[in-house]
Amino acid sequence: MVHRNGFTFIEILIVLFIISLSLFILTPKLTKGIVERQDVTLSQINGLLAEAVKQARSSREPAEITFILGSSNVIFNDQRVQLQDGLILQEADVNEYPAQSLEVAIRAYPDGICDYFTLKFSDGKVIKSIPLLCKVRLG
């Protein structure tokens, strides 16, 4: 009777497949979280959207966040907020329509969704919304 020590080629391939599949699934989730945590503007806009959804749910009316083109100003609840990175908003699309005035209104609705929008800033950064989650990500 022959005794073999070690693993067969098929067993090694199965283990490598399981490891690579795990890395394939986990890597995008881990790197996405790291990149988004480091972006101050992204965090600030996500915070404003969360507050707008909370306000919309309590009042049962859409809440509005207004971005001012050509500046780093945002208006929410009749208060002016300055984007922390000092980025200047150069272009904006809301629901796939380009902004028609200097004020760009984005609405959050009581059911927890928001308008689809894209914001382009002076440093080339593009931020896009995820309407069903009412969050933003880097575009």
Q: What is the CATH classification number for the domain harbouring 99?
A: 3.55.40
Establish if 85 belongs to a structural domain. Answer: yes
* Structural domain for 87, as ranges: 39-138
**How many Cα atoms sit within 13 Å of 77 on the Cβ side?**
10
pLDDT, tens only, 93-110:
999 999 989 999 999 999
SS3 92: strand
Residue 51 placed within a domain = yes
Q: Is residue 22 part of a domain?
A: no
Is 32 part of any domain?
Answer: no
Mean pLDDT per block of 10 residues along the chain (139 residues) reads 76 93 81 63 90 95 95 92 87 93 94 93 91 84
Q: Specify if 11 maps to a domain.
A: no
The domain total for the chain is: 1
Question: Residue length, the chain?
Answer: 139
| pTM, full prediction | 0.70
Asked, for residue 34, whether it belongs to a domain, the answer is: no
Q: Tell me if 91 is assigned to some domain.
A: yes
> Using CA of residue 8, residue 13, residue 19, residue 21, what is the dihedral sign?
negative
